[in-house]
Structure 1
Amino acid sequence: MDTHETPLFELPEPQPDTTVFPFGQGLAEAVDGGFVAADWAEALAPVEGKLVSLARELEARRASGERILPAPPNILRAFSRPLAEARVLVMGQDPYPTPGHSMGLSFSALPQVRPLPRSLKNIYLELHEDTGLPIPAHGDLSAWANQGVMLLNRVLTVAAGAAGSHRRLGWESVTDAAMAALAARGGPLVAILWGKDAQALAPALGSIPIIASAHPSPLSARHGFFGSRPFTRANALLVQAGGAPIDWALPLVVPRG
Structure 2
Amino acid sequence: MFDLSRLGAWAHLPFITETLPVIQAQLEVDERTVLPPAHLIFNALERVQPDDVRVVILGQDPYHTVGKAHGLAFSITDNFGGRLDSLGNIFKELQSDMDVIRTSTQLDDWADQGVLLLNTILTVPEGLPKGHAKLGWQKLTDQVLERLADKPRAYLLWGGPAHKAAQSVDAEANFKLQSSHPSPLGVTKSGTNFEAFRGSKPFSRTNAWLRSTGQRSINWDDPEAL
Q: Same fold (TM over 0.5)?
A: yes
Within 2, Cα distance between the matches of 1:200 and 1:244? 29
| Aligned 8 A contact 1:182 1:205 in 2 | no
Farther off after superposition, 147-156 or 111-120 = 111-120
1:168/1:208 CA distance change after superposition, 3 Å: farther
Secondary structure at 2:63 match in 1: coil
Q: TM-score, normalised by structure 2?
A: 0.90
Q: Which residue of 2 aligns with 1:168?
A: 134
Question: CA–CA distance in 2 between the matches of 1:40 and 1:98?
Answer: 28
Deviation for aligned residue 1:217: 1.0
Q: Tell me, yes or no, if structure 1 residue 41 matches structure 2 residue 11.
A: yes
Within 5 Å, give how 1:17-96 maps onto structure 2.
Answer: 20-22=1-3, 30-31=4-5, 34=6, 36=7, 38-42=8-12, 44-61=13-30, 65-80=31-46, 81-96=48-63
1:113 paired residue among 80, 84, 87: 80
| Amino acid paired to 1:54 | I
Q: Which residue of 1 aligns with 2:215?
A: 243
> Hey, what's the Cα distance between the residues in 2 that align with 1:76 and 1:123?
22
The answer on whether the counterparts of 1:94 and 1:156 sit within 8 Å (CA) in structure 2 is: yes
Instruction: After TM superposition, give the deviation of residue 57 of structure 1 in Å.
Output: 1.5
Letter in 2 for 1:225: F
Give the Cα separation in 1 of the matches to 2:129 and 2:214: 39
Mind listing any 5+ residue stretches in structure 2 that lack a counterpart? Answer: 190-195
TM-score normalised by length of structure 1: 0.79
Aligned position for 1:216: 182
Give per-residue Cα distances to partners, 1:7-65, cap 9 Å, x unaligned.
Answer: xxxxxxxxxxxxx322xxxxxxx12xx2x1x22222x135422112212221121xxx2
User: In the aligned structure 2, how far is the partner of 1:82 from the partner of 1:96?
Assistant: 24
The aligned residue for residue 102 of structure 2 is 135
The alpha-carbon deviation at position 119 of structure 1 amounts to 0.6
- RMSD, aligned CA: 1.5
What amino acid is aligned across from residue 151 of structure 2 in structure 1? G
Q: Which moved more, 1:221-230 or 1:88-97?
A: 221-230
Residue matched to 2:192: none
Aligned residues: 215
Q: Secondary structure at the match of 1:222?
A: coil
Greater Rg by CA? 1
* Alpha-carbon contact 2:187-2:198 (below 8 Å) kept: yes
Q: Distance in 1 between matches of 2:137 and 2:215?
A: 31
- CA distance in 1 between counterparts of 2:34 and 2:43 reads 15
Inter-partner Cα distance in structure 2 for 1:110 and 1:163: 18
Separation of aligned partners in 1, 2:157 and 2:209: 15
Q: Is the CA contact (8 Å cut-off) linking 1:68 and 1:160 kept in structure 2?
A: yes
Q: Map Cα deviations across residues 149-196 of structure 1 (whole Å, 9 max, x no partner).
A: 00000000000010000001111111111111111x212x10001122
Provide the secondary structure at the position in 2 that maps to 1:205. coil
- Cα distance in 1 for partners of 2:105, 2:17 equals 31
Residue in 1 that maps onto 2:66: 99
Of 103, 106, 120, the match for 1:154: 120
Letter in 2 for 1:243: Q
- Pair 100,210 (structure 1): closer, same or farther in 2 beyond 3 Å: same
Q: Sequence identity, in percent?
A: 35
3-state DSSP of counterpart to 1:113: coil
Q: Distance between the aligned counterparts of 1:47 and 1:101, measured in 2?
A: 26
Q: Contact 2:60/2:159 (CA < 8 Å) preserved in 1?
A: no
Q: Secondary structure at the match of 2:188?
A: helix
Take 1:97 and 1:90, find their aligned partners in 2: how far apart are those partners? Answer: 19
Q: Aligned partners of 2:10 and 2:215: how far apart in 1? A: 21
